[in-house]
């Protein structure tokens, strides 16, 4: 686990599921009206992703490659059902807010994508780290998006009123078109900063002596979409 | 002297005097009668809104591009001015600034700046305001004009499109409640004449736009209704100043007619069947989105190409 | 009736500052440099050797193929050198250097032919070929080739191109005024060769004196009923072959085809005069009218220039250039070729020497297209220059080819009109070069 930090920067930066891999768009756009929904969704995805990554990694020698996708779906669906029931039992409000998007985690491309691109080729510990890292990246991204939309679109943050009575929120941000516009702007900003970072890192690397091996970004071959 | 080296470049060696900047200045000149009329009708509040919007737009662009030249190519000033002309007379100051900033940033800069945007920036700004702060942008926010009373207190009222009442002459002159620049068809026509004269717009887009609105208006009660639909609301301002925006309208001659007709059609569909009393903003934005497609399907026949159907 | 014209085009202004200046013979230089490649098509081989004496009008270059025209000495004297020299088209070309003996001895072969009525079509064609006639508008297409249409394209109309749509240039304008009879005689000769029933002289309406003169000449002489004077709107590129045909007879030449395809042949005013002189005097094409003009010239003039005279000599005769002269152009400002130095000979196709000053020479940075569609409105070929330009800007040459880049004849109207100052025609030119190179492979 010594390189968990590296996995984490990968999950948040290089392989950021929303901004870089553009996966899991549907819940991203739909539930980011409020920060609390984003957090709930993010945590659910972390749980499902970590569990499914671990189990798939454990079973990677067992599952025949021809039927691996149905097998993954069953594994993922199991955990999703668990999460769904737990949420329903302990946090019915959140469960109601997230609605159909919890069951839909089954077909969320992030989870299937990590299974396909990472867990089936790596041992348990790295798979666990990968699931956690990608999950954290997803959660953080949702939080940023939801914070912006909630603060300016509703004038609250995690339900707390921020600006008082006289504030007139920007309803556009709370509406579906606002989700697209905010996501687009954030994605552009993220990639702009990312490229800048990449350039400065390249410069630093070329200054350092050769032989400094860096871990190549794994999993960028995931099919985009979903 | 004779061994002098000359500048070498590929022909042509003459360039027309028109530049993006000169076109934008001409648009500003064309907007002057509209601005003047709105100040005459609505007083000092109109002037404040207009200046605030134009300055905010120009400042946003100058800041974003880190440009020393505040005026730049003039397109930000045009965007800010056009946005102001679609606003109510005295909206809250922050509404104007948010509208202008989002018009420039979301409407134009994110696409890559002048020439790259898909949607008319001023209308993007207006659409964002309408969706976000509907209570300030529609309903009882429209002030009744008080001609030549610069500082008079004005009474609010609904627009003719909402009430369905107003004499045609008042609509033509602009002495009806409405957005700053949309009420006076007369002022708009004077400005549009300047653009025609300078060759910056042609009849195709405004002609087909207004023509379709008029034709569909006829079905609502004859010629008076047709004229009424043309003169009321934002059709005149939209047809001459918004839909003709070069960047976001088709460049093929046939495409311009289709685009204008589409704007007219969607405007009337929204007016007659939609939730909003006025549909010009969304009609133009929707047709903006179709512009590349229209261009693609209306490529003119090349000179000398045989005019027959290729099987 | 309104003025006839075509759809599109631009009005860059006339600048015809030399319109009222009569043609004056230029000083014959001490030495002429006559390039052996002066026409579209194959170059010539030298017909003389170093040390030979030549006379004015003597053949010095024999064509290497059918699409080529012979070249004649423009002064009498001695051949001193045959070597490559600067050429208006860019790369150095083999040229014959003749030292002028100052005698101007005419070559014995220059004898008047029979009157036009007694000459047969074949004889006339031979006269045009032997006189080395080429299109004098600038394209320099050998005239005898244009006079030999294939059988399946019978010619019914010959058009004399007197539009002179390029700003600044007045060479054809002066010829119309001073050699009206020769223009008409040349046209009749072309009509006879081609067995065409109809002749048209197309003049832009910015030359009212020429229009009056030509219509008077046509009215006075009998038997010119089948020659029509067509007044055209002064618009660039009215003088482009296809646009002229559209404006005068209303036919559109298909993409990639020659005017012959619509049974029409175009000839330039200067070519018609040269044809008339070849018949009347047996004079080959060794001199032509050149307009030396522009804000960078102190005393603009219309000069009768011997082929091979260096441009710097011409500039000197016109009072030299102003201090702020920055650009030297051979031809007109819309399609002419910028020259790096004035050490270049005037050739058969040199219609003008234009000097522009700092004020006109500007550089622009490339900014995005604002899709105003003006280039689409002005393109006489009804192409989409904005799209073609963007394709080339992004390196999509194949897309540009599909969108019709090869149909562009590079009139430059799009670049002229573009408010974003995008180098549209330059991009299209790049694409055309690349496509042509690819097709050759």
pLDDT tens string B12-62: 999 998 899 999 999 999 999 999 999 988 888 889 999 999 999 999 999
Going by pLDDT thresholds of 50, 70 and 90, the confidence category of residue A224 is very low
Query: By residue range, what is the domain housing residue A179?
Result: 2-158+171-210
pLDDT of A81 reads 94
Any A CB within 8 A of B93 CB:
no
Of C255, C417, C419, Cβ closest to residue B302: C255
User: Could you tell me if residue B184 is inside a domain?
Assistant: yes
Residue C310 forms contact with B (CB below 8 Å): no
Gap between the Cα atoms of C224 and B94, Å rounded: 79
A137 within a domain of the structure (yes/no): yes
Q: Neighbours of B (≥3 Cβ pairs closer than 8 A)? A: A, C
Mean pLDDT over C3-32 rounds to 91
Say yes or no to pLDDT of A211 above 70: no
On whether residue A81 sits in a domain, the answer given is: yes
B110 interaction partners in chain A (CB closer than 8 Å): 184-185, 188
* Residue B305 domain-assigned (yes or no): no
Is residue B307, in this structure, part of any structural domain at all? Answer: no
pLDDT band (50, 70, 90) for residue B304: confident
Please say if the pLDDT value at position A176 is more than 60. yes
| Average pLDDT of the residues in A159-177 | 85
Neighbouring subunits of C (3+ Cβ pairs under 8 A):
B
The pLDDT of residue B150: 65
Q: Do A188 and B98 touch (CB under 8 A)?
A: no
CA distance B10 to B29: 35
Mean pLDDT of C53-61: 93
- Percent of chain C with pLDDT strictly greater than 90: 80
pLDDT band at B149 (very low <50, low <70, confident <90, very high): low
Between residues B90 and A138, which one has the greater pLDDT? Answer: A138
The answer, for B246 touching chain C at a CB cutoff of 8 Å, is yes
What region, left, alpha or beta, does residue C341 occupy, with left being phi > 0 and alpha being psi -120 to 50 degrees?
A: beta
Secondary-structure class of domain C116-281 per CATH: alpha beta
| Position A186 in a domain | yes
Confidence of residue B236 (pLDDT cuts 50, 70, 90): very high
Name the residue with higher pLDDT: B172 or A207.
B172
Chains A and B make contact, 3+ CB pairs within 8 Å: yes
Distance in Å, alpha carbon of B285 to nearest chain C alpha carbon: 17
CB C335 within 8 A of CB C241: no
* Cβ pair C148, C67 in contact under 8 A: no
pLDDT(C6) > 70: yes
Q: Is the Cβ–Cβ distance between C146 and C319 less than 8 Å?
A: no
Within a domain: residue B211? yes
Q: What is the mean pLDDT of residues C392-410?
A: 92
**pLDDT, tens digit, 9 for 90 and up, residues C338-364:** 999 999 999 999 999 999 998 888 888
Neighbours of A171 (CB within 10 A): 18
Residue B64 forms contact with A (CB below 8 Å): no
Band (pLDDT 50/70/90 cuts) for residue A162 is confident
pLDDT of residue B257: 96
Q: Is chain C adjacent to chain A, meaning 3+ CB pairs within 8 angstroms?
A: no
Please tell me the pTM assigned to this model: 0.86
Residue contact B98–A175, C-beta within 8 A: no
Nearest to B110 among A170, A172, A188 (CB): A188
What's the rounded mean pLDDT across residues B191-208? Answer: 93
Q: Checking DSSP bridges between strand C59-63 and strand B142-143, what pairing results, if any?
A: unpaired
> Which residues in B51-89 are b (16+ Cβ under 10 Å) and which e?
ebbbbbbbbbbbebeeeeeeebbbbbbbbbbbbbbbbbb
Average pLDDT, chain C: 91
Structurally, chain A folds into a number of domains equal to: 1
Q: Is A82 on the interface with B (CB under 8 A)?
A: no
User: What span, in angstroms and rounded, lies between the C-alpha atoms of C341 and A64?
Assistant: 77
Task: Note the pLDDT of residue C290.
Answer: 95
- The Cα C434–Cα C222 span in angstroms is 53
In a domain, A190, yes or no: yes
Give the pLDDT score at C161. Answer: 93
C374-399 pLDDT tens trace: 999 999 999 999 999 999 999 999 99
Domain around B268:
20-292
Q: Cα–Cα distance between C204 and C173 in angstroms, integer?
A: 10
**CA–CA separation, C282 vs C124, rounded Å?**
11
Q: Which two tokens stand for residue C43?
A: 């170059």
Instruction: Find chain C residues with C-beta within 8 A of B6's C-beta.
Output: 325-328, 338-342
CA C205, C208, C213, C217: dihedral to nearest 10 degrees? 40
* Mean pLDDT over each residue of chain B, to the nearest integer: 88
Among B13, B247, B250, beta carbon nearest to C370 = B247
Interchain contact B306–C (C-beta under 8 A): yes
Position A215 in a domain: no
What's the number of domains chain B is made of? 1
Cβ–Cβ pairs < 8 A, chains B and C: 160
Position B9 in a domain: no
pLDDT tens digits for range C173-228: 999 999 999 999 999 999 999 999 999 999 999 999 999 999 999 888 766 678 99
Using the predicted structure, report yes or no on whether residue A92 has a pLDDT greater than 60: yes
Share above pLDDT 70 across residues of chain A, in percent, rounded to a whole number:
91
Q: How far is B144 from chain C (nearest CA, A)?
A: 37
A172 touches chain B (CB under 8 A): yes
Place of tokens 């990590």: A114
User: Which backbone phi and psi does C59 adopt, to 5 degrees?
Assistant: -70, 125
Q: Where are the domains of chain C?
A: 116-281, 374-440
Lowest model confidence (mean pLDDT) among C15-19, C219-223, C244-248: C219-223
Q: How confident is the model at residue A219 (pLDDT cuts 50, 70, 90)?
A: very low
| Percent of chain B as helix, strand, coil, to the nearest 5 | 60, 0, 40
Examine residue A164 and state whether it is found in any structural domain, yes or no. no
pLDDT on residue B168: 83
Average pLDDT over residues A49-68: 92
**Can you give the pLDDT at residue A98?**
86
In a domain, residue B309? The reply is no
pLDDT at C256 (0 to 100): 84
Asked whether the beta carbons of B8 and C339 are under 8 A apart, the reply is: yes
Q: What are phi and psi of A82, to 5 degrees?
A: -60, -50
Q: Do C5 and C160 meet the contact criterion of CB atoms below 8 Å apart?
A: no
């Amino acid at each position: 686990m010594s390189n968990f930090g590296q996995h984490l920067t990968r999950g948040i930066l290089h392989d950021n599921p929303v901004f870089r891999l553009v996966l899991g768009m549907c819940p991203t756009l739909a539930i980011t009206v409020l920060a609390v929904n984003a957090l709930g969704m993010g945590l659910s995805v972390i749980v499902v992703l970590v569990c499914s990554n671990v189990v798939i990694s454990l079973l990677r020698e067992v599952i025949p490659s021809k039927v691996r996708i149905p097998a993954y779906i069953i594994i993922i669906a199991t955990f999703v059902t668990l999460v769904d029931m737990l949420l329903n039992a302990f946090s019915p409000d959140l469960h109601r807010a997230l609605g159909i998007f919890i069951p839909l985690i089954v077909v969320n491309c992030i989870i299937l994508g990590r299974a396909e691109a990472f867990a089936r080729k790596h041992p348990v510990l790295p798979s666990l780290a990968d699931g956690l890292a990608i999950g954290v990246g997803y959660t953080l991204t949702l939080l940023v998006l939801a914070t912006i939309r909630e603060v300016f679109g509703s004038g609250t943050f995690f339900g707390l009123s921020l600006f008082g009575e006289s504030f007139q929120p920007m309803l556009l941000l709370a509406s579906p078109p606002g989700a697209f516009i905010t996501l687009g702007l954030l994605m552009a900003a993220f990639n702009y900063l990312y490229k800048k970072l990449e350039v400065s890192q390249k410069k630093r690397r070329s200054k350092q002596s050769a032989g400094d091996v860096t871990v190549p970004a794994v999993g960028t071959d995931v099919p985009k979409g979903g | 002297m004779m061994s002098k080296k000359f500048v070498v470049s590929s022909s042509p060696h003459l360039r027309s005097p028109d530049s993006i900047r000169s076109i934008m200045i001409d648009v500003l000149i064309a907007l002057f009668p509209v601005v003047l009329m709105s100040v005459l009708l609505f007083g000092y509040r109109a002037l404040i809104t207009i200046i605030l919007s134009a300055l905010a737009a120009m400042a946003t662009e100058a800041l974003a591009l880190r440009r020393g030249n505040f005026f730049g190519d003039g397109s930000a000033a045009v965007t800010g001015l056009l946005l102001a002309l679609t606003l109510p007379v005295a909206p809250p100051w922050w509404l104007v600034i948010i509208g202008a900033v989002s018009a420039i940033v979301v409407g134009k800069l994110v696409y890559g700046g002048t020439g790259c945007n898909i949607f008319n920036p001023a209308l993007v700004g207006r659409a964002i305001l309408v969706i976000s702060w509907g209570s300030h942008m529609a309903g009882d926010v429209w002030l009744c004009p008080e001609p030549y009373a610069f500082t008079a207190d004005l009474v609010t009222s609904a627009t003719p499109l909402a009430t369905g009442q107003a004499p045609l002459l008042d609509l033509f002159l602009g002495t009806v409640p409405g957005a700053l620049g949309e009420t006076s068809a007369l002022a708009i026509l004077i400005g549009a004449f300047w653009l025609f004269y300078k060759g910056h717009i042609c009849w195709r887009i405004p002609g087909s736009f207004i023509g379709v609105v008029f034709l569909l208006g006829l079905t609502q009660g004859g010629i008076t209704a047709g004229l009424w639909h043309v003169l009321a609301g934002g059709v005149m301002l939209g047809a001459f100043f918004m839909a003709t925006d070069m960047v976001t309208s088709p460049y093929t001659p046939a495409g311009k007619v289709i685009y204008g007709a589409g704007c007219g059609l969607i405007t009337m569909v929204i007016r007659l069947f939609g939730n909003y009393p006025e549909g010009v903003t969304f009609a133009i934005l929707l047709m903006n989105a179709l512009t590349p497609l229209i261009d693609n399907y209306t490529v003119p026949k090349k000179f000398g190409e045989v005019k027959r159907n290729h099987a | 009736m309104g003025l006839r014209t075509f759809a599109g085009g631009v009005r860059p202004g006339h600048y015809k500052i030399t319109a009222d200046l009569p043609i004056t013979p230029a000083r014959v230089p001490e030495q002429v440099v006559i390039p052996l490649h002066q026409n579209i098509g194959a170059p010539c081989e030298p017909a003389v050797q170093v040390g030979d004496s030549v006379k004015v009008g003597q053949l010095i270059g024999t064509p290497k193929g059918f699409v080529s025209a012979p070249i004649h000495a423009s002064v009498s004297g001695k051949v001193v050198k045959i070597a490559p020299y600067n050429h208006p088209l860019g790369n150095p070309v083999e040229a014959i250097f003749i030292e002028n003996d100052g005698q101007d001895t005419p070559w014995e072969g220059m004898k008047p032919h029979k009157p036009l009525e007694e000459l047969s079509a074949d004889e006339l064609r031979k006269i045009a070929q032997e006189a080395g006639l080429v299109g004098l508008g600038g394209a320099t297409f050998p005239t005898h080739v244009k006079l030999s249409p294939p059988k399946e394209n019978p010619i019914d109309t010959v058009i004399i191109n007197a539009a002179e749509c390029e700003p600044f240039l007045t060479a054809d304008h002066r010829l119309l005024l001073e050699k009206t009879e020769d223009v008409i005689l040349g046209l009749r000769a072309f009509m006879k060769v081609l067995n065409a029933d109809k002749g048209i002289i197309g003049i832009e309406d910015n030359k009212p004196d020429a229009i009056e003169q030509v219509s008077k000449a046509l009215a006075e002489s009998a038997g010119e009923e089948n020659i029509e004077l067509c007044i055209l709107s002064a618009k660039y590129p009215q003088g482009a072959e296809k646009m002229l045909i559209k404006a005068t007879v209303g036919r559109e030449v298909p993409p990639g085809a020659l005017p012959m395809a619509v049974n029409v042949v175009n000839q330039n005013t200067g070519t018609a005069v040269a044809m008339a002189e070849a018949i009347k005097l047996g004079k080959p094409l060794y001199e032509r009218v050149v307009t030396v003009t522009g804000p960078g010239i102190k005393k603009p003039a219309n000069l009768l220039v011997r082929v091979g005279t260096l441009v710097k000599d011409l500039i000197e005769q016109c009072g030299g250039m102003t201090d702020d002269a920055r650009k030297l152009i051979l031809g007109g400002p819309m399609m002419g070729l910028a020259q790096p130095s004035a050490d270049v000979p005037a050739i058969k196709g040199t219609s003008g020497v234009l000097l522009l000053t700092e004020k006109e020479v500007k550089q622009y940075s490339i900014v995005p297209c604002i899709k105003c569609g003006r280039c689409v409105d002005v393109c006489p070929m009804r192409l989409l220059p904005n799209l073609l330009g963007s394709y080339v800007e992004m390196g999509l040459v194949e897309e540009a080819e599909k969108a019709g880049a090869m149909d562009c004849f590079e009139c430059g109207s799009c670049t002229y009109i573009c408010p974003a100052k995008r180098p549209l025609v330059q991009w299209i030119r790049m694409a055309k070069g690349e496509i042509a190179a690819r097709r050759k492979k």
